[in-house]
Amino acid sequence: MQQVRLKVGENRLADALLILSQLYGSPDVPLSQAREVTQILDQMAAKVIYSREHLLESPYLVAAGDSLDSIADRCQVPALLLARINGIRDPRNLPPGKEIKVLKGPFSAYISTDHSEMTLMLAGRYAGRFNVVLSNDLSRATSLCTVRDKRARTASAGSESGKQWIELGNANGNINMQGTNDTQVTTGRNSRNTIWLSEQDMDDVIGILSVGSRVIIQR
């Protein structure tokens, strides 16, 4: 924590976030301090990663022929994430010379079956956490997965065809990640190979994880 305070005092917040991230989930940190560490991490991640401040990478200057998709592909993050961070409402209108914030991905995710929580990481830095509910067959599983496919919200978001989902793959098959606010679905947990988040959290996660991101399910 002394190192963290030193880095914060030097306005090196990315370094402070990297150091503090090593304490997240550590069994050596007392519970009372763990809550404080998590609170500080949430605040730091919001500023370092998700604000428009260039605290991780140098500003990117849009060149002729660039599109948000091409920039995002090179950075290995979703274009949706760059659009949200930079407040870009029309990704098709990206004028040359515009300065935008970029992140070098991909993000990874760690799902704790014991704590029903998914933690996102970016290059060793804590990048947020979300509550999850796992189907019964996954409640004690351990697995290394990758994001194989995903679909963001469509215009028909009110129908089943407009639902967002992420497909994870491992050696044993596929695992689905879905958003729902229906507690009857999650309390039943009868579906197989399913991870549920709230619809709001799913909206956030689908804009952060990209195809190829690693998702580790562990105790």
pLDDT, tens digit, 9 for 90 and up, residues 166-182: 999 988 889 999 999 98
The amino acid at residue 190 is: N
Confirm whether 53 is domain-assigned. Answer: no
pLDDT, tens digit, 9 for 90 and up, residues 136-162: 888 888 899 999 999 987 654 454 556
Number of domains in the chain: 3
pLDDT, tens digit, 9 for 90 and up, residues 39-73: 999 999 999 999 999 999 999 999 999 999 999 99
Q: Are residues 112 and 211 in the same domain?
A: yes
Residue 18: what pLDDT? 96
Domain around 66: 60-100
Q: Are residues 88 and 121 in the same domain?
A: no
Q: Are residues 205 and 156 in the same domain?
A: yes
Q: Alpha carbon of 166 to those of 54, 127, 195, 207, 212: distances in Å?
A: 29, 19, 10, 11, 11
Residue 154: what pLDDT? 64
